[in-house]
Structures are given as C-alpha cells and as structure tokens.
Amino acid sequence: MKTLRKLFATLSLIIIISPFIFMSCAGSGSMEEKEKKVEELLSQMTLEEKVGQLMQKNADHPQLGELISRGLLGSILNEPDPERLHEWQKLAVEKSRLGIPLLIGRDVIHGFKTIFPIPLGQAASWNPDLVEKGARIAATEAASMGVNWSFAPMVDVTRDPRWGRIAESFGEDHLLNGLFGSAVVRGFQGGDLADPTTIAACVKHFAAYGWAEGGRDYNTANIPENELFDVILPPFKMCIEAGAASIMTAFNDINGIPATGHVPLMRDLLRNEWGFEGVVLSDWESLIQMVIHGYTPTDKEAAYKAMQATMDMEMASTAYENYLQELVKDGRINEKQIDDAVRRILTMKYDLGLFDNPYPYLAEFPELLDPSHLEAAKQMAIESTVLLKNNGALPLSADVQRIAVIGPLADAPHDQMGTWVFDGDKEHTVTPLQSLREMAAETGKEIFYHRALPLSRSQEITNPGAILSDVRRADVVLLFLGEESILSGEAHSLANIDLQGAQEELVQLVAGQGIPVVAVIMAGRPVTFEKIEPLMDAVLYAWHPGTMGGPAITDLIFGKVSPSGKLPVTFPRHVGQIPIYYNHKNTGKPATYDTWMHIDDIPEEAVQYSLGNTSHYLDYGFEPMYPFGYGLSYSTFELRNLALEKQQIQAGEVLEITVTLENRGDVEAAEVVQLYTRQLFGSRVRPVKELRDFQKVKLTPGQQKKITFKLNTRDLGFHNPDMEYVVESGEYHLWVGTDSRSGLKTAFEIKH
C-alpha cells in the first residue's frame, strides 16, 4: 500500500443514573499516575505473564481458572453469568501474582437485556443522539452484570444486502456509519471510562469487511485504494476521534493481505499516521485463519505477522500463546513489541478503573429492563420504522373496528429482537399482536389472528380458508411479513433476498378482497418485494425492532405518532441489480428513462435494435425500488428558499446554506432534511451525489423553520491519482432534499 505516510494527513447523553454513588476509580487519576502504575506492573512481569495478557479465551475453556490464577490470561468473552464473572475476576485480582484484573468481553450489539432495533434500523432513525442514548443504556445494563468491553460498533460500509452482517452495519454511506458509530462509542464510554456504568467500545471490522465479494461472509475484499481511503476508512477515523478504546480486525483479506496481519493498514496507518494508542483485537480465530487464507504456512508465522502489524490481543485461538515466546527467543520479535502490546492492554484496564473497582455490578445499578430503558427502546423503534408506501390506508382511523392480523412475524418474540441478542430474553419482548390485543381490549376492537406460516420460510400456508373468511369480515388487514432473525447476521448471507417461503402467496391470498392491506415488514436487511408491492396499500419497514417493537408499531399504525424513518441503504428492485447505491459514478453513458427500453417492449421482429446504449438492465432498468434517504410521513413537508451565503468560496472556508422547511399537513411530524453535493469534474471521476449533512426537524401543522447548514470545504476532498487528499477547485452542485433522489438544487464554485 503505497504512500501511506501522507494518507489521511488532513483528517485529523449521558443518562443520569441516580441516586447511585460510585467509589472513586484509578482510571480518573492523572496521566502520570496511570503511566507509573502501568510501567511498574510491566517491569515485574515475566515474558510468560506478558504473553498471557495478550490472550482472550472463551468462557468454556477447560483451563480457565488455572490460567487466571497464574496470571496468564488477559480477557474472557462469552460468559453471561455474573456470579462466574465475579469469581473469575476475584481469582485474577486476589490469587494471581500481580493481581491484574480481567477484561470481560461480550457482544453488546444493539442492547443487552433491553433490545433496541438492529444497527441498520438505528441508522434509519437518522437520529445519532437517540442512538447514543440507547448505547448508554446498553452499557449500563451490561456493566451491571460484570461486562466491561463490548465488540461494537460495527462501521463496515456495505453496498450489498445479501451480506448477512448488513444488519449490524449503519448502511451504505460512510458519513452515516461514522456518525452513528461515534454515537455508540460515546454512549458506551460516557464521559469517563472509569465510571462503572461504562464499557469500552471496540470498533469493527478493520477493514473493508462489508466489501466481501458477492455478499458472502468472510470473503475477500478487492477494493481500489482510493475507495478504501475515501469510503471504508473514514468511519473508523471518526470513531477514533470520538475516543474509541479498541478496534477489532476483519476476517477478510484486503487485496490479498488478511486484515489481521496487514502491516501497512494497522502499523503504518492506524498506529503511526493516525496515532491510535488503544487496543487492537483479532476477530474470532482470524489470526490463525491467515494460514487458511494461504498467507502464512504455519500458526507461528501468523503470530509473527500479527505482531508485526501491532495486533495486541488474540481472540480464542492460541498462536500468540504457543509461539510468541519462541519468536522472542529466536530473535524475530523484540520483547519491546510485546511490551507495547501489554502496555496498551494494561492502560485500557486502568482507564476502565478495574484496578481499584473490579466488581462494579453488585447493587449499584438500575434494574435491567428499567421502564425508562423500555421507553427509549420504543422511541428508537418508532423513529427507525420507515413508511415506504401509503395510498391513504395509514394511519388507521378510529372507525376501524375489526382487524385481521396475519403473518409469521406478528407474534414472533425472538425473531423480533433480531440477530446478535445473546442476552435478550424473548419473554420480555412485546410483539405487535400483544400490543394490538391490549389496545383492542381497551377500545372494544376485534382482532382476528392467523400466523398463516409457522416460519417466515415455510412453504405452505396453514388454514387459507379460515384466513380468507376473517379477511372478508375485517375492516383492514395487517400483514406482518419479513424474515426470522436467523436469516441475517454473521454467516447468514443470502443469494435470494425476496420474501422467503410462501409469503408472496400469502399477500396474493389476502389481496383483492376489497379490504385495505397494510404490510409491516421486519427484517435484518432490505428484502425485495416488487412483484407484490402493488397489492399492498401501505408498507411500514420496521427492520427487527427489538423488545418494544410491538407498541411502537401499534402507535405508528394508529397515528399516535407519524413515521419519520429514512432508508440508510438503497432497496433494489431485484437482487440482480446489486450493487446498487446512491453515490455511484455517472459513467460515460448514464441511463435515462428516455433511453431505456424494457425487454417486454422490444419488437418481436427486431434482430438488431437500438436500445439506448446506456448503462442499464433490459429487464430491471437502472432505478432502485426505494432510494437511499427515502421515507414517507403522515404529513406533507415543503422545502423552499434554498440560499447560499455566496456562490464562490475559497478552499478551506465554510459555506453557509439556508433553507426553509414547512409542515403543510395537519399532524405533527418530523422530517429529515438532507444535504448532498457533487463535484462536477475532478482528477478522479466523482460520485453523482454524496451526503454531507442532515438535520431531523419536528414541526407542528403549519409551522415552518429556517434550517442552516455549515459546509466546510475540507470535507469535500478525496484522494487523487497520487493518493493525496485534495480539495479541488471547480464547480459543485448542491441539493437539499428529503431523500437522495429529490430536492432543491443550486451550485457553487471552489477557488484556490
């Protein structure tokens, strides 16, 4: 990776928990005290003890207690029992020779006991403050059980909904990933890591994991260097600037070099250029998987490569444990390299306050699933839900008395939580059916419920006759469709992202009866449903909404609140369009509606026929089903009076943009006002649009507000063919709109 020394050179809520008073922690001491403590410990450690600090073992390891007692283990992961964690921490602190506490890792991805919407859904809220609040709650709940380190946020930019882990991502845009990832970092870590209610964040996966070929998990990532630095890496840089304590490496190789042993990426860029001093952790056995990749012939060589890349801690596998001491004796690794890694780990433990307060989870915290936590989860589920279609069917009027609730996701408490919910309990989930029945009991409405399909992927509809009978006597049909939680997440990629099983047949069964059909789709990714979309009068996309998804959806359906979610990822019409994303290049022959002819419209007698000669598919054209940033409301908003402070601006200056937003409808609602730019000509071809900023604004009926954006020209830069970060002079277009495909347009010029 060339010219790394000059790359990125220009880049440079807390919930009040009372009345709990926590003991003071060493982590709040001075820098001198911290360095003195760390160096004193380091000077007393044997090489074997140092290597032990670089090891993270799964909780089922048969020799865990022995390793801890001998001071030969730095971290444990995947233990949900707080009593066992307490025992192990006690062994480390009171039985080992130097009393070094353990890092306790856990995948706290979108909640601990209170489960929030999946991260992709959180991004659909376009509300980083709300996501920060959710992360603060998750940290508090996890810390109360003894966890002090979470393997989140994931800021892998991805443009492929086939990839199962898109559920953990904040979508296809690097700005959204950076902003929401930073919000999670702040929420987890609070204002001071030594506060016992905080946990350390671990930003993952460094890097390019979301670029896996074909959306197949763990696959190779072939990515141009400029895309790596302009799209993939900025979210990591933003999270580091937010104070992230640690970073996790990726499973994939990047242009042939596995990320866990990528010296230019980790040592040269992350450490030397960015100055990251936190802990770098491998993903599960990703260190020894360098052998399987074909990058190193043995685990010993993998350990050598990882240490050269300044990878500090090995998750689950044993290459460091087995070979680091031998590599030192061979003279291939300097013990100072190991000292540096141990120093970073000890520093994180000190910052977490573990040396003075290793047992923070006894009686000092709010109850798990506290009412305030549940209310925050409900609010996030509300703001994450995207209204994709509405012909007037929503919100339901008070006159609606008989409601047919149909579908495999209407009452699926586990699936509703989504992927990565090791500590979530389905017993605490409130499903849409539960919530609707509670509402019906209070209002006298009737609910006719049919699961219809045992699972979302079931191939046969149960009791179709009874379903039709109830549909015909209902005032509205609420169809709860989507995918089970097991169909997304790690190792759960799909080649076909249509609604699974017989769900399309279910829609066809209930449609055409003269009864409005409202679809609520819960899924861990964008699913394709173009063939049946015309049969739906309204579509709410709720992702996997978490513990309080049911009440949130009920409030949206009955209009207690207006939908305000916006898509953080483009929805394709067909899987064959992938990759399809908003910030693509224009090409030399961009598609237009004037040039595209659908395959069904080609004359039968045509042998040689001009079809426009532009970049499109004959069968599915060039447009997505729903564009990035899209989402409807129960109200109507108007943008007007777009104005720039000036039309010409010097590089390095800030451009002020103003626009007026008015709520022209009759309900209070929130709208996300989005700012995009395009550089028309550059030393590299530039994207047709790039998101630069956004504001979520709530207005009452008739209310209007003047919105101001401040656009710093340095944020308009990119890496030129010499891999220098530059802001080039020339003409730029600017849009302010409510999605990536619409809006008011103007232009400005940058001069040097």
Residues acting as catalytic residues: 283
Do residues 385 and 542 lie in contact, with contact meaning Cβ atoms separated by under 8 Å?
yes
For 314, the token pair is 């090995």
Residue position matching structure tokens 């013990």 = 335
Judging by DSSP bridges, how do beta strands 386-390 and 538-541 pair with one another?
A: antiparallel
Do residues 147 and 104 lie in contact, with contact meaning Cβ atoms separated by under 8 Å?
yes
Judging by DSSP bridges, how do beta strands 103-106 and 149-150 pair with one another?
A: parallel
Measured CA to CA in angstroms, residue 565 lies from 380, 384, 475, 682 at distances of: 10, 5, 27, 34
Which residue type occupies 389? K
Q: Give the H/E segment covering residue 301.
A: helix 299-308
Cα-Cα end-to-end distance for the chain: 30
**What is the C-alpha to C-alpha distance for residues 491 and 514, in angstroms, rounded to an integer?**
42
CA 491 distance to own-chain centroid: 16
**What is the C-alpha to C-alpha distance for residues 305 and 263, in angstroms, rounded to an integer?**
8
| CB burial of residue 60 (10 Å; 0-12, 13-18, 19+) | exposed
Do residues 539 and 522 lie in contact, with contact meaning Cβ atoms separated by under 8 Å?
no
What SS3 state is found at 624? coil
For 437, the token pair is 């029945």
Q: Give the H/E segment covering residue 540.
A: strand 538-541
Question: Would you tell me how many other CB atoms lie within 10 Å of the CB of residue 499?
Answer: 24
Do residues 546 and 426 lie in contact, with contact meaning Cβ atoms separated by under 8 Å?
no
* Strand residues in 335-441 grouped as ranges (E): 386-390, 402-406
Strand order in the sheet with 246-249: 202-206, 246-249, 279-281
Nearest-5° angle of CA 229, CA 234, CA 103?
120
